C-alpha cells in the first residue's frame, strides 16, 4: 500500500468557501419538510413564502437596502450579467457607453464586450461602447482616468469593491462621487462578491445603484446570489417566465438557498471584525514565511490595500501550473486565479493590467484564507511551498 494522502490545507476561499455549519442547519428543513413552492397559495407554499421573505428582509438589512430592492439570482455571474445587460436593455441611448475597470471579473467584462461587439442584439440590445479604465500597480482604479472616461453618454459604470484575484480594495466611495459629478444619469454597479466576507458592504457600497453578492463566497450554498437594485434603477430582466422577483428574475425560488444566503451573511457580519484580524494575522504569517524561505518572492499588491484573506505571490522562475500540481500533491489547495475554458492557465488579465509581464503573471499563485483556515493550514503550506519552488527552479 502507498503512503496515506496528506491532510488538506484548503487555501482557496476566493474560489469557494466551505459551508458554515449554521448555514447547513438553517437550510436543512427546506429539503424534506418545508418543500413548498413560494409562488403558490396553499399552506405549504405560504410557509415557503414566509421563509423567503424573512431571508429577503434580513439580507436587505445587512446590505443597507430595502427588501423590495433584493433580487434573488442563481449566483454572482448571473447577478453581474443582469446588472450589465439589464441596464443596457432599458437604455434609451442609441449607442450607450459602459465603463469598467481593467480588473473586473469576467462576469462583468464578458457581457460588456458582447454588447460592445454587437452580439448584444441577440438579447434585444443595440451596440454599446465599452471604455476600460486602467489601474495602478496595486490594482486600484485610476480615478483621473475614470473621470476622463465619463460623460452624458455613459449608461453604466461597473467597478468591483475588491478584486477576486489580488484582493485590492477599490476606492468605491470616490468612484461614486466622480460618477455622480461627471455622469449623473449613469448607473453605478459594484461586484461585492469577494469583499462581502470581510467588508461592511452596506457602508462601502452605499453609493452604488446595483450590488452583486454570491452566497458560496461567504460560507453559504453554491448556486444562489443577490443583485441589490436600488429603487428607481432601470433594469430589463434576462430571464422571463412567471414574473417572480417583481418581474426582474423569473423562475421558481430556491428557498433553501435564500435561507442559506441570509444565514451566511448574518454569520459573516457578526464575526467580521474578529475574523478580519484573525485571518489577516494568518495571512501575514504565511506571506512572511514564504518570502523568508523562498528568494525572489514578490507580493502582487501591498498588504495594506488588499483583503485580509488574500496572499497573491509571484515566485520568480517557476510556472504556476507546475507549482500548483506539487502543492496539490502535498495537500495544499491554492489557485492561479485565472483560467480559460479549456483548462489551460492563461496569464491573468488582472496582473497584466497592473503592469506585470506575461512571464511574471505565469509565476503567480493565489492563496486565499477564510473562516475555516487554521494555523495548521499555514504550517502545511509553509512546509510544502519552499521545496516545491526549489525543485522547479532546479
Kindly list the catalytic residues.
340
CB 368 within 8 A of CB 13: yes
CA distance 307 to 259: 26
What residues are paired with 191 via a beta bridge? 212
Beta strand 297-299 with 310-315 is antiparallel
User: Phi and psi dihedrals of 15, rounded to 5?
Assistant: -80, -50
What 3-state DSSP class applies to 364?
strand
Where does residue 190 fall: left (phi above 0), alpha (psi -120 to 50 degrees), or beta otherwise?
beta
- CA 382, CA 284: separation in Å to the nearest integer? 12
Helices marked H in the chain — which ranges?
21-27, 29-32, 43-63, 76-89, 106-116, 143-149, 172-182, 201-204, 244-247, 255-293, 320-329, 349-353, 358-361, 375-393
Cβ-based neighbour number of residue 108 at 10 Å? 26
- What is the spatial distance between Cα 238 and Cα 85, in angstroms, rounded to a whole number? 8
Distances (CA, A) of 63 to 134, 202, 287, 379: 28, 4, 32, 35
- CB contact at 8 A, 378 and 282: yes
Q: Parallel, antiparallel, or unpaired: how do β-strands 129-133 and 154-158 relate?
A: unpaired
Separation between Cα atoms, residue 188 and residue 256, nearest integer Å: 30
Instruction: Judge contact between 172 and 190, C-beta under 8 A.
Output: yes
Amino acid at each position: 500500500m502507498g503512503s496515506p494522502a496528506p491532510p488538506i490545507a484548503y487555501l482557496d476561499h476566493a474560489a469557494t468557501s466551505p459551508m458554515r455549519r449554521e448555514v447547513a442547519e438553517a437550510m436543512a428543513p427546506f429539503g424534506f419538510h418545508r418543500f413548498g413552492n413560494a409562488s403558490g397559495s396553499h399552506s405549504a407554499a405560504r410557509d415557503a413564502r414566509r421563509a423567503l421573505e424573512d431571508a429577503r428582509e434580513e439580507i436587505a438589512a445587512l446590505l443597507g437596502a430595502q427588501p423590495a430592492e433584493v433580487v434573488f439570482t442563481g449566483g454572482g455571474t448571473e447577478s453581474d450579467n443582469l446588472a450589465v445587460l439589464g441596464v443596457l436593455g432599458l437604455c434609451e441611448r442609441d449607442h450607450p457607453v459602459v465603463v469598467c475597470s481593467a480588473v473586473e471579473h469576467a462576469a462583468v467584462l464578458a457581457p460588456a464586450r458582447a454588447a460592445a461587439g454587437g452580439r448584444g442584439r441577440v438579447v434585444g440590445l443595440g451596440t454599446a461602447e465599452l471604455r476600460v479604465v486602467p489601474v495602478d500597480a496595486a490594482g486600484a482604479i485610476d480615478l483621473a482616468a475614470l473621470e476622463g472616461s465619463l460623460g452624458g453618454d455613459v449608461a453604466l459604470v461597473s467597478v468591483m469593491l475588491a478584486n477576486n484575484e489580488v484582493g485590492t480594495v477599490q476606492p468605491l466611495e470616490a468612484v461614486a462621487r466622480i460618477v455622480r459629478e461627471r455622469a449623473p444619469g449613469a448607473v453605478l454597479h459594484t461586484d461585492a462578491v469577494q469583499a462581502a466576507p470581510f467588508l461592511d458592504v452596506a457602508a462601502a457600497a452605499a453609493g452604488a445603484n446595483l450590488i452583486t453578492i454570491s452566497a458560496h463566497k461567504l460560507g453559504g450554498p453554491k448556486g444562489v446570489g443577490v443583485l441589490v437594485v436600488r429603487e428607481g434603477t432601470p433594469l430589463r430582466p434576462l430571464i422571463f417566465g412567471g414574473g417572480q422577483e417583481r418581474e426582474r428574475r423569473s423562475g421558481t425560488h430556491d428557498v433553501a438557498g435564500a435561507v442559506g444566503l441570509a444565514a451566511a451573511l448574518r454569520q459573516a457580519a457578526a464575526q467580521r471584525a474578529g475574523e478580519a484580524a484573525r485571518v489577516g494575522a494568518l495571512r501575514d504569517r504565511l506571506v512572511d514565511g514564504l518570502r523568508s524561505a523562498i528568494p525572489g518572492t514578490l507580493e502582487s499588491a501591498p498588504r495594506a490595500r488588499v483583503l485580509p484573506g488574500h496572499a497573491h505571490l509571484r515566485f520568480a522562475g517557476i510556472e504556476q501550473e507546475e507549482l500548483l500540481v506539487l502543492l496539490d500533491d502535498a495537500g495544499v489547495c491554492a489557485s492561479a486565479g485565472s483560467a480559460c475554458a479549456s483548462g489551460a492557465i492563461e496569464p491573468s488579465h488582472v496582473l497584466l493590467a497592473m503592469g506585470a509581464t506575461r512571464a511574471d503573471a505565469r509565476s503567480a499563485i493565489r492563496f486565499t484564507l477564510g473562516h475555516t483556515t487554521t494555523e495548521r493550514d499555514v504550517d502545511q503550506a509553509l512546509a510544502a511551498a519552499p521545496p516545491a519552488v526549489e525543485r522547479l527552479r532546479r
